[in-house]
Structure 1
C-alpha cells in the first residue's frame, strides 16, 4: 500500500483532525494534509468525500474516504499492522478503551459550527455549558464538568498513560484535552481539571504534552486562545447558539 496515497482533510484548529495526525505519525505513515475552511467554506471535494456528515476529519486511503476520527484511528491501526500498536491487543481492553473514548469524545450532539475546538458530549457537555454561560448557571455546569472528568480519571488509575507504559488509543482519543483545557479554563476563569479534583488526570496532562510527537504537532497556542476567546464572546452575546 502506497503511503503517498494517504490524504487527511482537516482544519488547523480541530482537535479531531489532530488526533488522526497523531495516529499517522505513530505509525510512520506519510500523508498529505488538506486544510479546510470549517465551517464556513467547505471544499467541493470534502462534500463529495463525506456527503453524509460533511465534517472533518476525512482520511482518504487509495482513493477510499473514511470519516469520524475514532473510526479512522482504528482503521489506521488495522491497516498498517507492523510497528507501533495503537489499540490494545486484549479484546476486553479494546472494548474498555472504546467505552471510555465514547464517554469522553462523542461529539454527535453538538454542531460543527458551534465551536470548532470544543465539540464533545459526555465529558464536555457540561464543560461546554460552562463555556457558554455565566453566574449560577455556570457554577452548576462547572460541578457537572468536574464530576465527568473525575469519572474519566478512573480509566487512567495509576498508569503512566491510558495505554499503559506508552500512549495508545485512548490517549490519542482524548489527548487534545491536555492542550485545550488549560486554554479554556483561562478564558472562562474557572478550574475544571486540577490537583484537587482530578490530580492523576492533571499529571497525565503534563505527561502527554511532554511526548515529542504530541507537542511538536500542536497548533499555535496563541491562535487557539484567540479563536476560543472569540467563540466564547459570540456565545455570550447570542451571536452563536450553543
Structure 2
C-alpha cells in the first residue's frame, strides 16, 4: 500500500494520457481506474478531487495529486530515475529551459485545447466556428515554430513538453475533419514530430485510434447540438 499508484482517468482524455505516458517513461506500475465523463461521478473521484471533480487524479499511497501538469511534475520528482536506474528526468535541468517548457505547456492547455473545444462545440459555417478554425491554425503554426528543426521540443531527447503535447496528435485527424484543413500543409514538422513520438512504446501504447477520437468528437458535437 505504501507505494500503490492508481490513476483515475478517462479513455480518450489527452490530459490523462499524458500522465500514462509519463508513468510508462518512468517504468512505474500502476492501476488504471476508468471514470465516467458524464452522469454520476464515482465516490472515489469525488473524494480524491472534491474541488474540480474531474480526471486525471493520481493516487500515490492513497494521497491524491490533481491537474495533469502538476501530476507530471510530481511523477518526475517522485521517480527521478527510469526503470533501468539511469537518469531520466522529463523536465530540463536548466532553470530557464524548465521555465520555457512550463510556459509552452501552459500555452497548450490554454490555447490548443480551447480551439479544439470550440471546433466541436460550435456549429460549422457560423462565424464563431470559422474564427475557431483560424485560431486553431494559428496555434498549430505557433507550436510548429517553437519546435523548429529539433527532433523533440527539448532537443534530441523526448521530454516534458513532448509528453504534454503528444496526446493531442491523436486528435489531428479530428482537427482536419472539423476544421477543413490539412495538417501536413499547415504544420508538416509538427506532424513529423508526432510520428517520431509514436515510435516510442510509451506513446504508441497510450494514444487512442484517431478514428475513435473523431467518433468521440462527433458524439460531443451531437451532445452540444452543434451538428
For the criterion TM > 0.5, the same-fold answer is yes
Distance 2:182 2:2 in 1: 44
Unaligned runs of 5+ in 1: 106-120
Q: Given that residues 91 and 160 in structure 2 are in contact (C-alpha distance below 8 angstroms), is that contact kept between their aligned partners in structure 1?
A: yes
Cα separation, partners in 2 of 1:101 and 1:190, compared to 1, 3 Å: same
Stretch deviating more after TM superposition (58-67 or 131-140):
131-140
Distance 1:221 1:192 in 2: 15
Matched residue of 2:20: which SS? helix
Compute the TM-score of the two structures, normalised by the length of structure 1.
Answer: 0.83
Q: CA RMSD, aligned part only? A: 2.0
Q: Does 1:218 align with 2:207?
A: yes
Aligned to 1:235: 224
Aligned to 1:103: 107
Aligned to 1:108: none
Distance 1:219 1:123 in 2: 18
Stretch deviating more after TM superposition (52-61 or 154-163):
154-163
Paired residues in the alignment total 220
Cα separation, partners in 2 of 1:142 and 1:209, compared to 1, 3 Å: same
Greater length-normalized contact order (CA 8 Å, ≥ 6 residues apart): 2
Deviation at 1:219, TM superposition (A): 2.9
Compute the TM-score of the two structures, normalised by the length of structure 2.
Answer: 0.89
What does 1:1-242 align with in structure 2 at a 5 Å threshold? 3=3, 5-83=4-82, 84-105=88-109, 121-131=110-120, 132-137=122-127, 138-186=129-177, 188=178, 190-191=180-181, 193-195=183-185, 197-237=186-226
Unaligned runs of 5+ in 2: 83-87
